C-alpha cells in the first residue's frame, strides 16, 4: 500500500522544506580543477519512504482481546494504537487516526474482523483479512459515552453500553444502529430513585441468548428478557461492581466488587447472593464481616469437565499489604495461588479450548497484560509457570538510551552472538509451546543479516537479530559488572556526574568484522570489549585514568602560536616520570581541598569471571580536575586494525592504544589547531607546572599537576548527550560557545596533507564549530613489534571548515566507491597459539581492506563530510571542495549517515523539522526530500539512525522501535514480507446438547436476533444518536469481512456491487430476506439428510 509518490523530488526541495530553495544544483569548486566524472546510478525513483514494522511492547496498553479459533491476540493502547500478535514473527501495528484511547476490543471470532471502542465514543470495524488491516466502518456516538461492548459468538449484533446506563445495538455488517434500545429506567426498578450508574458489563446467558445480563456500576445487575422487553430479575448489592462472569451452564454468575469481595448469584434467587467470598480478607472472629480490601477489578469463572472450576481475579489485596506488587489470584478448588506481577495489571483473559460459552471451558492459560509487559501463565502445570515470551517485548527492560543499526553484517555474526546468548536464558518456564500461534509468516525477500544494538540506562547493551523485518534478542552484555556497586545510600560515591543511572550507555562504536565493541557511558567512562567464545577469569581489570582539562587564561599573552609539538613516544601507561607535586589516582582532593584526580566510578579490584561473549579489554575513565567533574563524552571511535580507541568531549580529545594500554594523545580542542585557530579565542595558558610537551600529549592522571592559579570553568549543564553539541541558534553562553566539543571521529587510510603522494593511516576529527582536523598516525610494524614500539601521533595541520557541528565523515575512492576503515578480522584471542602461528603473527601487520592501499599513487580520494547545516565533498590530496550542498537553512540535521543502496552509495539525513533527505555521492544531488515526522522529543533525536539497503529506525515510544525504509524496492516487496494475520480455520463443532436435554429443554436456547433487532420490527434508530462513517478499507475489505453466516448478506451485496447493479433500499431488503430464507432451507435440508436414517436412540 504505497502512500507516497516522490518521483518529483529530483528538482530539489519543496517550498515547505528546510533546504535552501535557491540552490538548485550542488555547487562545484573550483572551475579550474575539473574532477574526473563518476557515473552515479542512483536516481530519485530508487527512493520511497514508508514505515515497515514496529517492534516492542505496546506503549501505554489499555485493552486486550483474543480470538480462540484464529489464535490471535490484540492489544489496544492509550494513544489509539492497535497491535496484533500471532505466532512468533507474525505481528502487526495499526493506528486509529483520532489517537483516542482504546477502551475495549472485540474479535468477530474466526471472521477475520475486530471491533474497537475508543474513548472518543467511536466504534471501528477492522478487516484483518489483509496484511495491513484497515477500517471498514466507523460509528460515532454523538449524545452518549460508550463504556462497554459485547459481541456474542457468531452474532452480528453488538451490544453497546453507555455512561447514561442505556444499551444500544449495532449491526456489525452495516455498522448502523438498530431501533431496539434498552433504557436504564426500564431496566431498574421503578421504585428506585437513583440512577444505577454507567453500564460496566453486558453478556448473554450462555444457555439462553434471549436473556441479557446487564451490570451497572452502582451494584445493580439486571437479567433482561430481549423478547418481552422487560427485566426478569434484578440483583442488588451495596458495593460497586467492576466485572461479572457466567458459569457455563447459565444458572449462576459471579460479580467482583470495589470492597474486594466476590458475590456468587443464582439466576433464579435475586434476593441475596448464594455465596460471598473475600479472597484476600482476614477472617475475623465472632462471624463479623472481613475487613474490606482493594477492589477486584476483574473476575473470570471457567469450568473444567474433570475437576473444580477456576476463579481467576486481579486486585482485591488487603489494604495493609503496602508495597506489595500487583497480583493475579487463581482459585481452583480449595487451593488459592497468588501470582505476583512486576507491573500493575491492565487486563487479563483466560484462554480456553472452546469458543462456545455454553460448553465446559477447559482453561489452559491466562494472558496478563501489564503496564509494561505481557505474561502468559500455564494453568495446566503445577505451580502455574509462565511461558517463555517469544515476542521482542523486552526492549525497555531498562530504558533505551542509544541505538545503532547495522544491515548487511558478516554472515557468521548472528550465529556467534546467538550461541553465547543462549547460555544466558532463564530456566523454569513452562514446557509447552507458546499458545498464541495464529497467522502465517511472510516470504522474506531480504536475505542479508541485520543487527540492532541498544544501549540502556542500567549499563546493559543488547544485540538483536533484525533480519527480514523480525526482531529477536541475541545477547545481553552488562557493562556495569566491572564497577563496584555501592551497598547503601551512605556508601554511594560522591563523585557521580549524574544522580541516577551512573552506568547509562551514551555512545556505541562497533566493528562488525573484528567484533570489537567500545561503549561510552554517562559517567565519562569508556570500556573496550573483545569477543571470545571461551570463559576467562581476569585477575586485574586493565584500567586507565585520563585527565582532560579545559584552560583559558585571559591575562597572559599566548605563547603557543606555533603548531603543537609532536608527542614523545610512549611505551606504556605509567612510563612517564611523575613530578613530586602530582597526586596519585587514589587521592580525592587537591591541595586547596577540591576533589581531584578521581574517576566517577570505582573499578572492581577483585578477579572478574567473564563468560563467553564480550569480555572487558580495557576500562578508561576521565577524572575530576580541581573540583570540576569530567565532562560527558560526545564522540567515540575504535579501530581494530590500528588497535586504537579515540574519544572526545567539550574539553578535548584523548587517544588510547588498547594493545599497549597507553594514552597516546590528550589535547584540548584549541591545542589541536596550533597556530591555525580560526576562532581567535584567548588561547589556553602554557601549563607552567606541567611536563614537557611530549608528556602534555600523554597526560594521564598519574603524571599530572594541577596549576594552582587556573580559572575553573563551569560544569556543563547538558545532561542529554544527543544535543550536547552547541547549537548556534540557541546557545547564548559565550563560555559554552567557546567550549568546542569533539562531535565526530573517523579512522581511515587517506591523504593527510596536500603534499602527500600516498594514503596513510590517520584520524579525522570534527568539532561542534564545524571544523575538521586531521591527525596523522605512525604505526609500528605488526606482530610483537606492535606491542613493543610506540604509536606516534601528531596533528597534521590540515583544517577544513563547514557550517554547523560536524556529524559524519566518510571516504570514497576514485571510482566513487566507499572506502571502509581498515579492520582486523575476528579471531579467538583466548586460545593458546601454536609456535608457527606465533611466527606468522610476528610478520603480520594489520592491513587495510580499503581499495586505497592497492591504488596507484596518482589516484585521488574524496572525503564526504556532513554537518548540521551542509555537506561537502573534498577532493584529496588537493583538499579542493568538489561539491557542496546546503542541506537546511532554518533547521539542523540530527543524523547523517553515508549508506549503501542498490549497489551505490548516498548520504541520508534526518532533520529536526521532520524531513528525511538523501543526496547522491559524490555530486550531492538531492534525490529524496520528504516530510516524515517532527522532532517531538529527545528520544527520537537520540535514537534515529540510517543503515545500508535503505533501512532506518528510531525509538517511537519508550518501549517500541519503529523501522522504516527509504528504498523503493523494499516498499514494493513489503507486502510479500509481511505476515498474514488471518488463516482459514474450521470453527469447532458446537457442543452436543444430548438427547434428554433436547427433549425436555435445558439446552441452549437460540434467538432470532434479526427478527428482534432488524428494521422491520424495531424501526430505525434516531439519526442524531450516532453517525456512520465509511472506512478506507474499500471493496477489498468488504470481501475480507464477508464470511460465514454473519457475512452472507454482505457477500450477496458485494457480488451485486461488483456487477455495477446498484439496488435501492427495498431491493436490498428483499435480497437479504431471500438470502436468509435460502440459507435456512439449505441448512434444514442438510439436517434432514444427516438424521434421516438414524434411530431415535442414536441422536
C-alpha triplet 714, 715, 719: angle, nearest 5°:
145
pLDDT tens digits, one per residue of 700-709: 333 332 333 3
Q: How far apart are CA 244 and CA 260, in angstroms?
A: 14
Q: Determine the pLDDT at residue 1059.
A: 45
Residue 657 pairs in a beta bridge with: 644, 662
Q: Determine the pLDDT at residue 496.
A: 58
DSSP 81: E
The residue written with cell numbers 532463564 in the block is: 426
Task: Give the closest residue to 387 by CA, choosing from 397, 369, 374, 396.
Answer: 374
Q: Mean pLDDT of all residues in the chain?
A: 81
The residue written with cell numbers 497491535 in the block is: 83
Residue scoring higher pLDDT (444 or 801): 801
Q: Determine the pLDDT at residue 885.
A: 96
- Indicate if the alpha-carbon torsion angle 63, 933, 508, 926 is positive or negative: positive
What average pLDDT score do residues 776-783 get? 90
What average pLDDT score do residues 297-314 get? 94
Q: Determine the pLDDT at residue 593.
A: 58
pLDDT tens digits, one per residue of 923-952: 999 999 999 987 778 899 889 999 999 999
Q: Determine the pLDDT at residue 1033.
A: 65
The gap between the terminal CA atoms of the chain, to the nearest Å, is 52
pLDDT classification of 854: cutoffs 50, 70, 90: very low
pLDDT classification of 257: cutoffs 50, 70, 90: very high
What average pLDDT score do residues 768-796 get? 91
Q: How far apart are CA 821 and CA 761, in angstroms?
A: 9
pLDDT classification of 888: cutoffs 50, 70, 90: very high
Q: Determine the pLDDT at residue 859.
A: 74
Please check the confidence at residue 565 and state whether its pLDDT lies above 70: no
Give percent helix, percent strand, percent coil of the chain, each to the nearest 5. Answer: 15, 35, 50
The answer to whether 85 and 388 are in contact (CB under 8 A) is: no
Please check the confidence at residue 1087 and state whether its pLDDT lies above 80: no
What average pLDDT score do residues 396-423 get? 94
Please check the confidence at residue 55 and state whether its pLDDT lies above 50: yes
pLDDT classification of 675: cutoffs 50, 70, 90: low
Q: Determine the pLDDT at residue 1040.
A: 41
The residue written with cell numbers 489483509 in the block is: 130
What average pLDDT score do residues 795-806 get? 92
Please check the confidence at residue 310 and state whether its pLDDT lies above 50: yes
pLDDT classification of 582: cutoffs 50, 70, 90: very low
The answer to whether 779 and 786 are in contact (CB under 8 A) is: yes
Please check the confidence at residue 259 and state whether its pLDDT lies above 60: yes
Please check the confidence at residue 21 and state whether its pLDDT lies above 80: no
Q: How far apart are CA 1046 and CA 1049, in angstroms?
A: 8
Other beta carbons less than 10 A from residue 808's beta carbon: 22
Residue scoring higher pLDDT (836 or 716): 836
What average pLDDT score do residues 552-570 get? 36
pLDDT classification of 738: cutoffs 50, 70, 90: low
What average pLDDT score do residues 389-416 get? 94
Please check the confidence at residue 338 and state whether its pLDDT lies above 80: yes
What Cα–Cα distance (Å) separates residue 371 from each residue in 139, 345, 959? Answer: 29, 6, 11
pLDDT tens digits, one per residue of 636-646: 999 999 999 99
In sequence order, which residues have a C-beta less than 8 Å from that of residue 399 and are 6 or more positions away? Answer: 456, 457, 958
Half-sphere exposure of 289 (CA within 13 A, CB side): 7
Q: How far apart are CA 1053 and CA 1069, in angstroms?
A: 10
In sequence order, which residues have a C-beta less than 8 Å from that of residue 604 and are 6 or more positions away? Answer: 481, 482, 483, 484, 541
Order of all β-strands in the sheet with 543-546: 505-511, 516-521, 525-532, 613-622, 543-546
What average pLDDT score do residues 418-432 get? 88
Q: Determine the pLDDT at residue 938.
A: 86
pLDDT tens digits, one per residue of 147-169: 999 999 999 999 999 999 999 99
- Reduced to 3 states (helix: H, G, I; strand: E, B; else coil), residue 402 is strand
Lowest-confidence range among 349-358, 473-482, 508-517, 971-980?
Answer: 971-980
Q: Determine the pLDDT at residue 597.
A: 85
What Cα–Cα distance (Å) separates residue 195 from each residue in 183, 184, 732? Answer: 12, 8, 61
Task: Give the closest residue to 844 by CA, choosing from 783, 912, 797.
Answer: 783
Q: Determine the pLDDT at residue 676.
A: 67
Residue 804 pairs in a beta bridge with: none
Amino acid at each position: 500500500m504505497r502512500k507516497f509518490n516522490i518521483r518529483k523530488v529530483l528538482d530539489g526541495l519543496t517550498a515547505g522544506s528546510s533546504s535552501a530553495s535557491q540552490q538548485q544544483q550542488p555547487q562545484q569548486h573550483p572551475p579550474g580543477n575539473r574532477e574526473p566524472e563518476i557515473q552515479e546510478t542512483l536516481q530519485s525513483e530508487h527512493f520511497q519512504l514508508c514505515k515497515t514494522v514496529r517492534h516492542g511492547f505496546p506503549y501505554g496498553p489499555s485493552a486486550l482481546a483474543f480470538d480462540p479459533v484464529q489464535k490471535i491476540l490484540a492489544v489496544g493502547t492509550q494513544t489509539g494504537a492497535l497491535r496484533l500478535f500471532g505466532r512468533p514473527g507474525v505481528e502487526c501495528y495499526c493506528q486509529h487516526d483520532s489517537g483516542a484511547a482504546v477502551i475495549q476490543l472485540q474479535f468477530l471470532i474466526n471472521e477475520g474482523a475486530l471491533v474497537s471502542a475508543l474513548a472518543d465514543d467511536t466504534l471501528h470495524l477492522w478487516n484483518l483479512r489483509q496484511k495491513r488491516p484497515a477500517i471498514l466502518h466507523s460509528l460515532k456516538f454523538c449524545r452518549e459515552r460508550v463504556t462497554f461492548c459485547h459481541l456474542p459468538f457468531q452474532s452480528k449484533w453488538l451490544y453497546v453500553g453507555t455512561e447514561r446506563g442505556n444499551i444500544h445495538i449495532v449491526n456489525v455488517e452495516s455498522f448502523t444502529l438498530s431501533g431496539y434500545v434498552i433504557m436504564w429506567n426500564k431496566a431498574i426498578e421503578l421504585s428506585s430513585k437513583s440512577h444505577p450508574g454507567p453500564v460496566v458489563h453486558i453478556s448473554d446467558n450462555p444457555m439462553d441468548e434471549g436473556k441479557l445480563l446487564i451490570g451497572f456500576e452502582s451494584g445493580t445487575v439486571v437479567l433482561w428478557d430481549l423478547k418481552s422487553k422487560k427485566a426478569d430479575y434484578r440483583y442488588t448489592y451495596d458495593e460497586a461492581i467492576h466485572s461479572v462472569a457466567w458459569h457455563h451452564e447459565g444458572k449462576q454468575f459471579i460479580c467482583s466488587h470495589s470492597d474486594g469481595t466476590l458475590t456468587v448469584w443464582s439466576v433464579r434467587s435475586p434476593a441475596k447472593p448464594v455465596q460471598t467470598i473475600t479472597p484476600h480478607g482476614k477472617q475475623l472472629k465472632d462471624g463479623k464481616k472481613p475487613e474490606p480490601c482493594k477492589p477486584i477489578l476483574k473476575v473470570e469463572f471457567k469450568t473444567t469437565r474433570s475437576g473444580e472450576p477456576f476463579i481467576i481475579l486481579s486486585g482485591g489485596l488487603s489494604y495493609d499489604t503496602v508495597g506489595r506488587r500487583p497480583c493475579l489470584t487463581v482459585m481452583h478448588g480449595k487451593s488459592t495461588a497468588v501470582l505476583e506481577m512486576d507491573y500493575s495489571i491492565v487486563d487479563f483473559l483466560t484462554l480456553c479450548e472452546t469458543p462456545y460459552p455454553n460448553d465446559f471451558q477447559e482453561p489452559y492459560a491466562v494472558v496478563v497484560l501489564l503496564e509494561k509487559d505481557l505474561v502468559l501463565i500455564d494453568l495446566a502445570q503445577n505451580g502455574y509457570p509462565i511461558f517463555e515470551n517469544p515476542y521482542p517485548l523486552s526492549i525497555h527492560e531498562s530504558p533505551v538510551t542509544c541505538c545503532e543499526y547495522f544491515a548487511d553484517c558478516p554472515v557468521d555474526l548472528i550465529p556467534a552472538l546467538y550461541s553465547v546468548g543462549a547460555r544466558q536464558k532463564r530456566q523454569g518456564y513452562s514446557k509447552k509451546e507458546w499458545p498464541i500461534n495464529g497467522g502465517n509468516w511472510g516470504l522474506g525477500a531480504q536475505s542479508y543479516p541485520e543487527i540492532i544494538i541498544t544501549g540502556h540506562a542500567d549499563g546493559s547493551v543488547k544485540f538483536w537479530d533484525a533480519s527480514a523485518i523480525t526482531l529477536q534478542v541475541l545477547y545481553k552484555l552488562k557493562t556495569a559488572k566491572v564497577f563496584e556497586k555501592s551497598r547503601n545510600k551512605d556508601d554511594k560515591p560522591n563523585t557521580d556526574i549524574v544522580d541516577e543511572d551512573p552506568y547509562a550507555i551514551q555512545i556505541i562504536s562497533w566493528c562488525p568484522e573484528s567484533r570489537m565493541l567500545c561503549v561510552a557511558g554517562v559517567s565519562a567512562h569508556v570500556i573496550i570489549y573483545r569477543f571470545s567464545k571461551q570463559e576467562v577469569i581476569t585477575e586485574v581489570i586493565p584500567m586507565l585514568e585520563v585527565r582532560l582539562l579545559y584552560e583559558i587564561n585571559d591575562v597572559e599573552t599566548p605563547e603557543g602560536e606555533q603548531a603543537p609539538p609532536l608527542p614523545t613516544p610512549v611505551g606504556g601507561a605509567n612510563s612517564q616520570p611523575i613530578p613530586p607535586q602530582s597526586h596519585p589516582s587514589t587521592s580525592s582532593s587537591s591541595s586547596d581541598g577540591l576533589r581531584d584526580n578521581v574517576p566517577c566510578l570505582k573499578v572492581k579490584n577483585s578477579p572478574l569471571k567473564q563468560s563467553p561473549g564480550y569480555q572487558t579489554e580495557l576500562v578508561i575513565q576521565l577524572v575530576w580536575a580541581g573540583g570540576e567533574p569530567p565532562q560527558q563524552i560526545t564522540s567515540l571511535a575504535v579501530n581494530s586494525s590500528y588497535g586504537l580507541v579515540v574519544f572526545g568531549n567539550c574539553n578535548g580529545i584523548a587517544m588510547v592504544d588498547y594493545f599497549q594500554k597507553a594514552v597516546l594523545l590528550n589535547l584540548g580542542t584549541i591545542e589541536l589547531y596550533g597556530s591555525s585557530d580560526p576562532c581567535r579565542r584567548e588561547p589556553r595558558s602554557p601549563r607552567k607546572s606541567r611536563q614537557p610537551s611530549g608528556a602534555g600529549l600523554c597526560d594521564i592522571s598519574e603524571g599530572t599537576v594541577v596549576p594552582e592559579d587556573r580559572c575553573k570553568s563551569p560544569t556543563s549543564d547538558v545532561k542529554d548527550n544527543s544535543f550536547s553539541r552547541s547549537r548556534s541558534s540557541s546557545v547564548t553562553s559565550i563560555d559554552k560557545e567557546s567550549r568546542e566539543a569533539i562531535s565526530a571521529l573517523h579512522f581511515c587510510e587517506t591523504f593527510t596533507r596536500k603534499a602527500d603522494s600516498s594514503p596513510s593511516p590517520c584520524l579525522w576529527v570534527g568539532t561542534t564549530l564545524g571544523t575538521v582536523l586531521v591527525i596523522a598516525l605512525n604505526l609500528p610494524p605488526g606482530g610483537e613489534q606492535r606491542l613493543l614500539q610506540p604509536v606516534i601521533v601528531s596533528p597534521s595541520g590540515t583544517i577544513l571548515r563547514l557550517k554547523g557541528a560536524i556529524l559524519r565523515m566518510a571516504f570514497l575512492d576514485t571510482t566513487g566507491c566507499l572506502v571502509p576503515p581498515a579492520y582486523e578480522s575476528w579471531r579467538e584471542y583466548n586460545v593458546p597459539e601454536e609456535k608457527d602461528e606465533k611466527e606468522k603473527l610476528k610478520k603480520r601487520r594489520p592491513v587495510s581492506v580499503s581499495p586505497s592501499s592497492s591504488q596507484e599513487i596518482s589516484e585521488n580520494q574524496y572525503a564526504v563530510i556532513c554537518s548540521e547545516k551542509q555537506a561537502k565533498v573534498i577532493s584529496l590530496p588537493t583538499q579542493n571542495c568538489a561539491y557542496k550542498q546546503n542541506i537546511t537553512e532554518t533547521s539542523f540535521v540530527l543524523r547523517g549517515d553515508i549508506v549503501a543502496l542498490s549497489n551505490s552509495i548516498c548520504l541520508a539525513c534526518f532533520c529536526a523539522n521532520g524531513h528525511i533527505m538523501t543526496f547522491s555521492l559524490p555530486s550531492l544531488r538531492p534525490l529524496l526530500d520528504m516530510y516524515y515526522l517532527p522532532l517531538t522529543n529527545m528520544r527520537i533525536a537520540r535514537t534515529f539512525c540510517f543503515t545500508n539497503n535503505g533501512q532506518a529506525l528510531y525509538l517511537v515510544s519508550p518501549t517500541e522501535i519503529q523501522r522504516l525504509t527509504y528504498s523503493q524496492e523494499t516498499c514494493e516487496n513489503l507486502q510479500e514480507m509481511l505476515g498474514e494475520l488471518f488463516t482459514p480455520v474450521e470453527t469447532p463443532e458446537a457442543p452436543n446438547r444430548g438427547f434428554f436435554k433436547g427433549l425436555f429443554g435445558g439446552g441452549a436456547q437460540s434467538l432470532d436476533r434479526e427478527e428482534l433487532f432488524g428494521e422491520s420490527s424495531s424501526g430505525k434508530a434516531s439519526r442524531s444518536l450516532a453517525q456512520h462513517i465509511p472506512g478506507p478499507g474499500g471493496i477489498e475489505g468488504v470481501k475480507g469481512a464477508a464470511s460465514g453466516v454473519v457475512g452472507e448478506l454482505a457477500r450477496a451485496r458485494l457480488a451485486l456491487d461488483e456487477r455495477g447493479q446498484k439496488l435501492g433500499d427495498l431491493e436490498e431488503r428483499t435480497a437479504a430476506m431471500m438470502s436468509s430464507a435460502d440459507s435456512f432451507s439449505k441448512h434444514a435440508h442438510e439436517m434432514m439428510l444427516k438424521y434421516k436414517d438414524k434411530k431415535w436412540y442414536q441422536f
